[in-house]
Structure 1
Amino acid sequence: MLARVLAAGGVSVVFTSVVIAAVVTTVTVANQTNSTAPNAGVGSAPSQEAVSDIPPYMLVLYQRAATACPGLDWSVLAGIGKVETDHGRSTLPGVSSGENFAGAAGPMQFLAPTFDSVTSRHPMPADGASPPSRYNPVDAVYAAAYYLCDSGAPEDVYSAIFTYNHADWYVHEVLDQAAAYRSQTPTGPGDCGRVHGGDRASVVLAFACAQLGQPYVWGGDGPQVNGGWDCSGLTKAAYASIGLTLPRTAAEQYRSGPIISESALRPGDLVFYGTTDNIHHVGLYLGNSKIVNAPTFGIPVRVQDLHYPGDDYFGATSPLTASSAVSGDSAQ
């Protein structure tokens, strides 16, 4: 239904036209005072599921609010909105009025002290309530964007969402919902500059891409630990950014599976090089036949072709499809 009236802070808002194509959004708004035109935020294009499931006003709002946290994809906010209150459509206590058993309220389920703290530190949009209200969708979604940013997003989306609600199952549910809301190219972009979004694969790749240029160090667990990365140290840390623990060496990571065919590769999967007796290298599949990896001595973390002259490509695994990952502590 394109016409939707929201009574929030005494302002009636009627949305008569919503056209979404990639990140181009047109909205006609009536009866608002002192408001700015809502522009879509930079990020992924909405999937068909997003367009059909998210109320048009909320979809535009998620896109707008994401710009308050540069680099945060709107789909993460939408994932939280879906998990918390079905985008404000839930009839449970504390959504449109009152509080739930924990004291949370509004479409993004803020505790009053947290909401007040966030809104006191950050500029709120003119088309929200005055003073800001947890029940006002504009205030609530912008406050969520600011709160995630204050908590480490977009660099560490997993931890930011965990701060929002201290449960790993919650983080996984939000990230999976965010992935469903994003229109995704199955082969992936093959370009670190085009890695966006809050789904788990994108978070893993964003971590690895943020390490581009860092030196290769044998047994390296990061520049803050021992000056750089080795191949399996990078992949282990990238997956740790979403709460999954991989073994430490390339061979152990391959054996932990699940093993997939090269034709089934998806962004975020692990690719391995070597032989049955000597798996000596691992990288992260970036899509479009590209990987991001810590290659070897004298060559920093970089993006390169999956296949190259003389390569000894061995196989691939998809840890994101595994029910759990095995831990390990020896370095390669």
Structure 2
Amino acid sequence: MLKLSTALIGFMFGLIVLVAAAVSGVVSAVFGGGDSATSGPPSQAALADIPGKYLTLYQQAATTCPGLDWSILAAIGKIETDHGRSNLPGVHSGSNSAGAGGPMQFLQASFDSVVARHPPPPGGSTPPSRYNPHDAIYAATAYLCESGARNGADVYGAVYAYNHADWYVSQVLNQAAKYKQAQANSGDAPASPQAQQAINYAQGQLGLPYVWGGNGPQDGGFDCSGLTTAAYQAAGITLPRTAQEQYDAGPRLSSGAPLAPGDLVFYGTPSNVHHVGLYIGAGKILHAPDYGQPVQIGNLHWHGDDYAGARRVAPNGEL
């Protein structure tokens, strides 16, 4: 057997420690250390993949752990159960072969211990349940925070504590990057919390039919302005009902000004606006296009479009 000198062993151990510290530092710089409440809106990939209810919970729960980016929670939820959509044993009831259950795959003992120290806020089950998305996501946030994610101190270590495998941490970090990288490089202005709430609601309507005059599921679907009206209503803001009225409600953004997620974008002419969508960032809009086309994500611009401009909805509801 090859024997290494004590000095060489010490050097190699020191090198491993330095590499680990460098990796941890890079991870913390990208996914931690900032204000998680304003850590950036989701990318188009995130909006297309994460159910609206879950996206809202990831974002809200992340604010309870300073320095933890919501995308880390979302990535764990994706890898563990596809945001609760998996039908494997232990997701909706019972447990898997390892004893884990619920959308964030908690062991019952671990879940009970975490919620005893950090009870989730109102909105979940009574008593808290690992199968309830609200309770599970808040519990996961608390667990990560206790494990090193607070203030971005050791995000890598926190995810490793969640599942003791380097490959798992790599998967989580790669998924988290997909959920935020497109938005980070888009040059868009930041979204207000109300605008993000509107986007979260609209994302939850993807796939619903286009219905002329439709105001929501109760009507079987949406038309374009019905969707934008309902989205902002979910954020506590009342908009005029039609695309033309929303266009006429206030000054437009100046040409060339960066758009922000949540901006209303219009098509047509100033006196004949025929379509409105909700900008979601990275050159994408979420809208109800026309008959036979469900609520979907599309491009802000396309060949031959008659883009007429954009308006920003202020947090107080003014356009």
TM-score, normalising length: structure 1: 0.47
Task: Output the TM-score relative to the length of structure 2.
Answer: 0.49
Greater RCO structure (CA 8 Å; 6+ sep): 2
Q: Which has the larger share of helix?
A: 2
